[in-house]
């Protein structure tokens, strides 16, 4: 009985196993039917249809999910199933600056080179290609296109990177880009020349012509006579129809005196008159007022000037300095600068400043403070560059003598610091000097009155110079023919009356410091006596300038150096032209016996 039960249980267990297997087969068939696939006894391809991104190969695998996709096509990135465009423009920056890079799907392309450049067009697919195939564009020289860049044929065309600019008319032509450049009037024709044989022709800014005499000759240019002392006045009177003063006979033929001063009106200039004031007392070492008659020679103080000509008759003052030109010398003037503030209360006693502004509160007014924004009550300036030591950085990137912190064109040399429109930007780095909206040189300019606002650019005679600046280009009320600097309203005449004295031997005591007398309204400067070496440096700074004059030595025995300087920046940085007429051996033997050779150096 027991055995039967065991056999029966075993059979029952086998039947249950069969039932489970059949149930599993039935469920599998049902699952296949749900997926739309019937069991046919054959294998289904996992790559059909292709589950990968379009154009990407599919490969069947035994691993889930039964397939693997290949790499994305060039210019795309992803896992093969999903691919996205690569932005080559962002990754490689293949295009020339100024040419737009356009991303495509896939790939990229560069727009043509910018205007003013020529070069290749680049397009392709992939970051590697973009990195290896940069667009190259080179500048086009428009000025050499056979048409002068479109500028007037007789004007100056200047090529720039990617562009060009039309400039002024070429030499020998007048006008502008609007009215055209026409031949300039000529001084001479085949039959006549208005200038003297010893003169030369000058072309004025407005296209007119004028004449001037050569060096060694004087007159009005149309008529010139010999000028032995080179002071601008002829040795003999000239028959000039315009009654030009430079046609009058020189009242000192052998001694330069450009002002023709004649205190006693005897026809003999003061510089060569033994008794310049006509008081019967000879000038040299006797008359204590050379230019003022004073037979009594009264001198109440102990200086070298008699009361008749002493601007401080009761206070010694050999320099006779009179800062405010009120006739009262500084030594006895209670208000030296004439600004209404007494000297004892004036924080700039020698520079007019009625407001007494003193930003750094160092007791020195801004008008005369060498460091107006940094306290420096002692005003020390070891290198004599007018910048106090405490704020003197000696950093001058463009080498024009103005340190970067004070330079209105820090990267462009402009010694004059001229700023015609007072916008804080120097003219040399300002594209619109007069701030009238017309650029100085580039389109829609050039401005036909660069220093005077004239947005309408009116030019009635079409000579290239605007009506508002026709006769006075810098608007300083001095006509261009008389203006020594017609492009700077700050300078109209040669004037050395205001100057800085730089002592080159501050420790020496063998001789006095230099003393100069300025004549002819600042056009002539004279050293009056032997002195320690020193410089008289004008406060007016210039850019490039043509300068001419006469250097006269009125002794045949003195052996000191004499000369002139230019491009002064500080006491150690300037150019000098000096001359010595005889050899001189320095009187001290230590540290060595120095010998100075005669001649020009």
User: Domain of 146: which CATH number?
Assistant: 2.10.25
My answer on whether 505 and 593 are in the same domain is: yes
Tally of CB atoms within 10 A around 54: 7
DSSP per residue, 65-81: TSEEE-PPPTTEEESSS
Among candidates 497, 584, 498, 496, which has minimal Cα distance to 533?
A: 584
Residues 6+ away with beta carbon under 8 Å from 424: 408
Out of 183, 214, 236, a domain closes at: 183
Residues 6+ away with beta carbon under 8 Å from 71: 56, 80
75: left (phi over 0), alpha (psi -120 to 50) or beta: left
For 93, 133, 283, the CA distances from 31, given in Å and listed in that order, are 55, 56, 137
- The answer to whether the CB of 34 falls within 8 A of the CB of 19 is no
My answer on whether 117 and 39 are in the same domain is: no
Largest CA distance in the chain: 181
My answer on whether 504 and 583 are in the same domain is: yes
Tally of CB atoms within 10 A around 181: 21
Examine residue 544 and state whether it is found in any structural domain, yes or no: yes
**Per-residue confidence (pLDDT) for residue 17, from 0 to 100:** 61
**Distance separating alpha carbons of residues 47 and 63, to the nearest angstrom:** 13
Among candidates 265, 511, 543, which has minimal Cα distance to 419?
A: 543
Apex CA 469: angle with CA 468 and CA 473, to 5°?
155
- The residue written with tokens 């004028």 in the block is 210
Examine residue 239 and state whether it is found in any structural domain, yes or no: no
My answer on whether 122 and 159 are in the same domain is: no
**Per-residue confidence (pLDDT) for residue 8, from 0 to 100:** 52
Sign of torsion over alpha carbons 177, 182, 185, 186: positive
**Per-residue confidence (pLDDT) for residue 37, from 0 to 100:** 45
**Distance separating alpha carbons of residues 174 and 208, to the nearest angstrom:** 10
User: Which helix (H) or strand (E) covers residue 218, if one does?
Assistant: strand 217-219
**Distance separating alpha carbons of residues 306 and 472, to the nearest angstrom:** 44
My answer on whether 135 and 148 are in the same domain is: no
Residues 6+ away with beta carbon under 8 Å from 489: 420, 451, 474, 475, 476
**Per-residue confidence (pLDDT) for residue 353, from 0 to 100:** 96
Examine residue 534 and state whether it is found in any structural domain, yes or no: yes
- The residue written with tokens 């300019």 in the block is 445
Examine residue 94 and state whether it is found in any structural domain, yes or no: yes
My answer on whether 507 and 586 are in the same domain is: yes
Tally of CB atoms within 10 A around 273: 23
- The answer to whether the CB of 347 falls within 8 A of the CB of 358 is yes
What letters, b where the CB count within 10 A reaches 16 and e where it falls short, cover 420-450?
A: beeeebbbbebebbbebebbbbbeebbbbbb
**Distance separating alpha carbons of residues 496 and 539, to the nearest angstrom:** 9
Out of 183, 201, 236, a domain closes at: 183
**Distance separating alpha carbons of residues 466 and 502, to the nearest angstrom:** 43
Mean of the per-residue pLDDT values of the chain: 86
Tokens of 488: 């700077």
Residues facing residue 225 across a β-bridge: 218
**Distance separating alpha carbons of residues 208 and 480, to the nearest angstrom:** 11
Examine residue 15 and state whether it is found in any structural domain, yes or no: yes
**Per-residue confidence (pLDDT) for residue 26, from 0 to 100:** 63
- The answer to whether the CB of 304 falls within 8 A of the CB of 319 is no
Question: What's the number of domains the chain is made of?
Answer: 4
- The answer to whether the CB of 164 falls within 8 A of the CB of 142 is yes
Residues facing residue 217 across a β-bridge: 226
**Per-residue confidence (pLDDT) for residue 18, from 0 to 100:** 60
pTM, two decimals, is 0.60
My answer on whether 102 and 113 are in the same domain is: yes
My answer on whether 135 and 155 are in the same domain is: no
Examine residue 11 and state whether it is found in any structural domain, yes or no: yes
Examine residue 494 and state whether it is found in any structural domain, yes or no: no
Among candidates 161, 118, 92, 117, which has minimal Cα distance to 109?
A: 92
My answer on whether 20 and 112 are in the same domain is: no
Q: What are phi and psi of 389, to 5 degrees?
A: -60, -35
CATH number of the domain enclosing 579: 2.60.120.200
Examine residue 472 and state whether it is found in any structural domain, yes or no: no
DSSP per residue, 140-165: --GGGSSSGGGS-TTEEEEEETTEEE
My answer on whether 510 and 583 are in the same domain is: yes
- The answer to whether the CB of 415 falls within 8 A of the CB of 542 is yes
CATH number of the domain enclosing 115: 2.10.25.10
**Distance separating alpha carbons of residues 118 and 108, to the nearest angstrom:** 20
Q: Is 566 helix (H, G, I), strand (E, B) or coil?
A: strand
My answer on whether 123 and 151 are in the same domain is: no
Q: Which domain holds residue 161?
A: 142-183
Tokens of 206: 């407005």
Q: Which residues of the chain register pLDDT less than 70?
A: 1-43, 184-186, 188-192, 205-207, 285, 508-510
**Per-residue confidence (pLDDT) for residue 20, from 0 to 100:** 60
My answer on whether 546 and 508 are in the same domain is: yes
DSSP per residue, 37-61: ----S-PPPTTSS--SSTT--EEE-
């Amino acid at each position: 009985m027991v055995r039967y039960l065991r056999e029966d249980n075993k059979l029952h267990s086998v039947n249950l196993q069969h039932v489970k297997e059949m149930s599993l087969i039935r469920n599998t068939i049902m699952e296949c039917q749900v997926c739309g696939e019937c069991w046919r006894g054959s294998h289904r391809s996992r790559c059909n249809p292709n589950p990968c991104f379009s154009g990407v190969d599919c490969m069947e695998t035994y691993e889930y999910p039964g397939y693997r996709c290949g790499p994305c096509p060039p210019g795309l990135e992803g896992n093969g199933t999903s691919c996205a465009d690569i932005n080559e423009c962002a990754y490689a920056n293949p295009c020339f600056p100024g040419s737009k890079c356009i991303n495509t799907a896939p790939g990229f392309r560069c727009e043509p080179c910018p205007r003013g450049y020529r070069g290749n067009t680049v397009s392709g697919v992939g970051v590697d290609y973009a990195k290896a195939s940069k667009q190259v564009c080179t500048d086009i020289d428009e000025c050499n296109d056979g048409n002068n860049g479109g500028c007037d044929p007789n004007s100056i065309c200047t090529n720039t990177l990617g562009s060009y600019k039309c400039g002024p008319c070429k030499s020998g032509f007048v006008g502008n880009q609007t009215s055209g450049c026409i031949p300039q009037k000529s001084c001479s024709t085949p039959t006549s020349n208005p200038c003297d044989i010893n003169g030369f022709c000058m072309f004025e800014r407005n296209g007119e012509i004028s004449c001037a005499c050569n060096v060694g000759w004087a007159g009005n240019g149309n008529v010139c006579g010999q000028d032995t002392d080179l002071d601008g006045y002829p040795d003999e009177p000239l028959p000039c129809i315009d009654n030009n003063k430079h046609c009058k006979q020189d009242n000192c033929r052998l001694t330069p005196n450009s002002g023709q001063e004649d205190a006693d009106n005897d026809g003999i200039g003061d510089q060569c008159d033994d008794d310049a004031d006509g008081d019967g007392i000879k000038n040299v070492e006797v008359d204590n007022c050379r230019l003022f008659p004073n037979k009594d020679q009264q001198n109440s103080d102990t200086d070298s000037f008699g009361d008749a000509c002493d601007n401080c008759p009761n206070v010694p003052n050999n320099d006779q300095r009179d800062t405010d030109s009120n006739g009262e010398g500084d030594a006895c003037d209670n208000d030296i600068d004439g600004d209404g503030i007494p000297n004892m209360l004036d924080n700039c006693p020698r520079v007019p400043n009625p407001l007494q502004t003193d930003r750094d509160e160092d007791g020195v007014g801004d008008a005369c403070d060498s460091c107006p924004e940094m306290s420096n009550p002692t005003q020390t300036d070891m290198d004599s560059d007018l910048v106090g030591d405490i704020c003197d950085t000696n950093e001058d990137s463009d080498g024009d003598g103005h340190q970067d912190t004070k330079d209105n064109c820090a990267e462009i040399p402009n010694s004059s610091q001229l700023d015609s429109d007072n916008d804080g930007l120097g003219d040399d780095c300002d594209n619109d000097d007069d701030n009238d909206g017309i650029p100085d040189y580039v389109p829609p300019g050039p401005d036909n009155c660069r220093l005077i606002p004239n947005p309408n650019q009116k030019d009635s005679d079409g000579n290239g110079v605007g009506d508002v600046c026709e006769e006075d280009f810098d608007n300083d009320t001095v006509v261009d023919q008389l203006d020594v600097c017609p492009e700077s309203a700050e300078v109209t005449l040669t004037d050395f009356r205001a100057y800085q004295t730089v002592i080159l031997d501050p420790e020496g005591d063998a001789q006095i410091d230099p003393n100069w007398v300025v004549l002819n309204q600042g056009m002539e400067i004279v050293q009056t006596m032997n002195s320690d070496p020193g410089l008289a440096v004008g406060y007016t700074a210039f850019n490039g300038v043509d300068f001419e004059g006469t250097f006269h030595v009125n002794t045949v025995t003195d052996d000191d150096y004499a000369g002139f300087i230019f491009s002064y920046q500080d006491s150690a940085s300037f150019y000098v032209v000096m001359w010595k007429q005889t050899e001189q051996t320095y009187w001290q033997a230590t540290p060595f016996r120095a010998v100075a050779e005669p001649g020009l150096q």
